[in-house]
């Protein structure tokens, strides 16, 4: 299993620089590091992106997180933010976050706020996770003013594999749906997948 993970990371690195998928509502854990990967090899899916989401637990409730994304139009974006889990129960975790996204080669900025992130634990190995993210775009005429650009919605079902090693705490595979805030038509969802690897501290 360790060899498979290493191969996935090596194959992914040219595309994602290391993207539930986007985040869900569960904090990473103090001193722990998590890497979530999505890879669109050779752009075989015309609307697909490759990205890596990185999270690090400052405390058991507070993370710093971010991602780097390779878009199909040959441009890259980065995101950085702060994550706080405000509810933890056996069945559901809820969190909020704030962050910014920028394009490497252009000056536009997106503010991701407010955000609601969730995890619903169905069994010990199966959970549903995702987020509702309000996106604001800086005004071209006034860089200090932000205009509401809509809401991005992300949801996925994850299966936690029965795997653990000296360095890896868990590996989960997720399949889900994503609605970008700027996507048209507005009721359209795109399929996504993610391989999530949590490392021990």
Give 10-residue mean pLDDT values along the chain (201 residues).
40 32 84 87 58 92 91 80 96 96 83 94 96 87 80 92 94 89 69 90 87
pTM for the whole thing?
0.81
CA separation for the pair 184, 176 (Å, rounded): 19
How many domains does the structure of the chain reveal?
A: 1
Q: What is the pLDDT of residue 32?
A: 96
Q: What is the pLDDT of residue 166?
A: 93
CB of 1 closer than 8 Å to CB of 160: no
Q: What is the pLDDT of residue 29?
A: 95
**Domain span including residue 184:** 2-199
Q: What is the pLDDT of residue 51?
A: 77
In DSSP notation, 80-125 reads: EEEEEEEEE-SSEEEEEEEEEEEETTS--EEEEEEEEEEEEE-SSS
CA separation for the pair 19, 194 (Å, rounded): 8
Q: Record the tokens describing residue 65, joined without a space.
A: 């997180």
Helix (H) or strand (E) holding 14: helix 2-16
Q: What is the pLDDT of residue 192?
A: 83
Q: What is the pLDDT of residue 37?
A: 87
CA separation for the pair 133, 96 (Å, rounded): 9
The per-residue pLDDT for range 18-52, each reduced to its tens digit, is 233 457 999 999 999 999 988 765 455 555 567 78
The CATH code of the domain that includes 147 is 2.40.160
């Amino acid at each position: 299993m360790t060899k498979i993970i290493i191969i996935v990371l090596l194959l992914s690195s040219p595309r994602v620089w290391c993207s539930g998928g986007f985040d869900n509502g569960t904090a990473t854990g103090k001193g722990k590091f998590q890497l979530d990967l999505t890879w669109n090899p050779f752009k075989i899916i015309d609307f697909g992106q490759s990205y890596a989401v990185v999270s690090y637990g400052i405390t058991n409730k507070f993370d710093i997180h971010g991602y780097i994304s390779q878009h199909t139009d040959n441009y890259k974006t980065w995101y950085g933010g702060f994550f706080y889990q405000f509810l933890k129960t056996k069945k559901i975790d809820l969190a909020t976050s704030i962050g910014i996204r920028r394009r490497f080669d252009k000056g536009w900025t997106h503010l991701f706020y407010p955000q609601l992130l969730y995890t619903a634990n169905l069994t010990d190995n199966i959970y549903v996770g995702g987020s509702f993210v309000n996106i604001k775009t800086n005004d071209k005429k006034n860089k200090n003013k932000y205009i509401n650009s809509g809401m991005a919605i992300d949801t996925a079902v994850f299966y936690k594999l029965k795997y653990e090693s000296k360095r890896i705490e868990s590996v989960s595979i997720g399949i889900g749906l994503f609605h970008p805030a700027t996507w048209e038509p507005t009721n359209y969802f795109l399929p996504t997948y993610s391989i999530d690897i949590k490392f021990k501290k």
